[in-house]
Structure 1
């Protein structure tokens, strides 16, 4: 298996562990304590550090002289935290459980954006790298499909404890695979006296680069809606007479997204900024139509269509990130982008909790409106910048190693 093939295996197994945590923690808490609320508190502690840890993790990854050790340690820490929660949840004092969850969540940005940032060192710039980001995006979608199914199956056959153990083993396998990847030697090639990117460099880059500011603001707004989609799908299915149909709707969306990332996401002839707008608008239109569907079956078909439109969004976002992120803050840009999207999704989930009494069709229409507004925001933001990205550095002309100097653009978003 080549270096990129091993990367995909590491990314998939790590993201399976990450995607399965939401369901597994709640099921384990319900099994051991009789209350799903305990799982929700642990999951909140797991998710909360992501956006705060993102700039720290990105800066540390960029500065370390031993990137292999750093990435493997982060993935191993993630796996150990999952294993520890498997043993402690419902059995240990709350402060200890929450501390373990926070520690595991701190490693989370390296499972998402941190891993994706490695692709620039594995695949040469150009069409091959654009396609590589399509495959990387597919690992997120594949994990979103397989992880909940695996957790549900193992729990049904035994209990939630073994399901959590499977996730821990998946995370451990990711760490082992990451140890086999080729990494850049940053020690020998370091330039004496070269400035090191500070913790705010990635955030500054997200703001200063027009394309990256546009994609970051648009996807962050969109994920306020996406974050509430799971809850709204359950409410919608219930109103349509199928209380258990919410899972089927989200599965249809995830399967559609996987198909979209493997097909539309691999189209390199379309500029990534245009692909972002098409993906956001298409997803919004499909979900708006789903709000007025007469049955769960028709709704599921429209959710699948929405997923197909959503599939290329991550691929296009990753391509924009890689194209404009300078080497010194690339990992910060990737981890910050993932952290902002996750925070927006968490905010969306909380917002829908306050409005859950409203008709589900109205809530889904609101989600669709957010996605369409995100497409418009991207169009307006991308149209208002000035200057041209600097094109230099070892990554080649298409890589655009933009700087943060006045009048130039630097990197950005998720």
Structure 2
């Protein structure tokens, strides 16, 4: 298995563990304490540090003299926290469990954006790298499909504790595979170039480079809706007379997203900005149709189509970050972008919780509308003239290339 093949295996294993945590934590809390609220508090502690730790994680990864040790250590810390929660949740005072969840959550950015930032150092630029990001995006979708199903199955056969153990084992596999990766490939370049940048430099790049500003703003708005889709699908299925079919709808969406990332996500005939906007619009339209579905079967088909349309968004997002992120803050851009999307998703889930008494079809319609708003946000954010990015204290060739990259336009973008 080549270096990129091992990367995909590591990314899939890590993201499988991450995607399964939401269900596993809640199930384990219910099993040991009888309180779903306990699990919600722990899950909040697990997710909360993602956006807060993203800038620091990006800085540390970019400055690491031994990137292999840093990435393996981050994945090992993530895995250790999953294993500790499996042992401690419901058995020790809650503050201890919360602290463990917070510590594990600080490693979360390296599982998402942090790992994706490695692709540019493993695959040479050009069509091969575009395909690589399509495959990388598919690991998120594949994990979203399989992890909840495996957790639910293991918990049903045995208990939630073995399900958590499966997630910990997957995290350990990811750490082991990360230790075998080549961290510099001829034709691709080093994963972590020499220049250093402060914690604010990544955020500055996200704002000042218009392509990064546009994709970050648009996907954060889009995830206000997508983040609440799981809860809303359960409410919609209940409204359609099948309370247990919420998982069917989300599986249809995830399978569609996997197919979309591997097919539509590889389109390079149009500019990535154009592709993102049309994908967001199509996702919104498909979800609007789903809101009007008269049966679970019809609604599931609409969810699957929405997933196919949503698939290219992640693939293209990864490509844009890789192409336009200044060298000195590349990892920061990936971790911050992922953290902001997760924050949008968390906020969306909270909003649905507050509006849970509303008819489910109106909630789905709102999610669809947010995808259309996200497309408009992308147009507006990308429309301004690009500005050079100042990333201090980076100097020399990498700093020069960062400034040049900031001034490039996305082909096909307005």
TM-score with structure 1 setting the length:
0.93
3-state DSSP of counterpart to 2:403: coil
Structure 2 Cα separation of the partners of residues 237 and 184 of structure 1 = 48
Deviations 1:54-109 (A, max 9, x none): 00000000001010000000000000000000000000111110000000000000
Query: 1:29 touches 1:35 (CA, 8 Å); kept in 2?
Result: yes
CA RMSD of aligned residues (A): 2.3
Q: CA deviation at 1:248?
A: 0.6
Partner of 1:204: 204
- Asked if 1:233 corresponds to 2:240, the answer is no
Structure 2 Cα separation of the partners of residues 241 and 394 of structure 1 = 62
Structure 2 Cα separation of the partners of residues 403 and 28 of structure 1 = 49
Structure 2 Cα separation of the partners of residues 173 and 277 of structure 1 = 37
Partner of 2:257: 257
Residues matched between the structures, number? 400
Partner of 2:21: 21
Within a 5 Å distance, the mapping from 1:254-403 to structure 2 comes to 254-386=254-386, 401-403=401-403
Within a 5 Å distance, the mapping from 1:212-223 to structure 2 comes to 212-223=212-223
- Asked if 1:145 corresponds to 2:123, the answer is no
Query: 1:280 touches 1:375 (CA, 8 Å); kept in 2?
Result: yes
Partner of 1:6: 6
Q: CA deviation at 1:384?
A: 2.1
Q: CA deviation at 1:387?
A: 5.7
Query: 2:208 touches 2:387 (CA, 8 Å); kept in 1?
Result: no
Structure 1 Cα separation of the partners of residues 96 and 235 of structure 2 = 34
Structure 1 Cα separation of the partners of residues 29 and 94 of structure 2 = 12
Structure 1 Cα separation of the partners of residues 385 and 221 of structure 2 = 19
For the structure 1 residues 181 and 255, does the alpha-carbon distance in structure 2 shift closer, same or farther, using more than 3 Å as the test? same
Structure 1 Cα separation of the partners of residues 402 and 294 of structure 2 = 50
Structure 1 Cα separation of the partners of residues 174 and 344 of structure 2 = 27
Partner of 1:160: 160
Deviations 1:8-30 (A, max 9, x none): 00000000000000000000000
Q: CA deviation at 1:190?
A: 7.1
My pick for the range that moved more, 29-38 or 131-140, is: 29-38
Q: CA deviation at 1:358?
A: 0.8
Where does the alignment leave 5 or more consecutive residues of structure 2 unmatched?
391-395
For the structure 1 residues 404 and 101, does the alpha-carbon distance in structure 2 shift closer, same or farther, using more than 3 Å as the test? farther
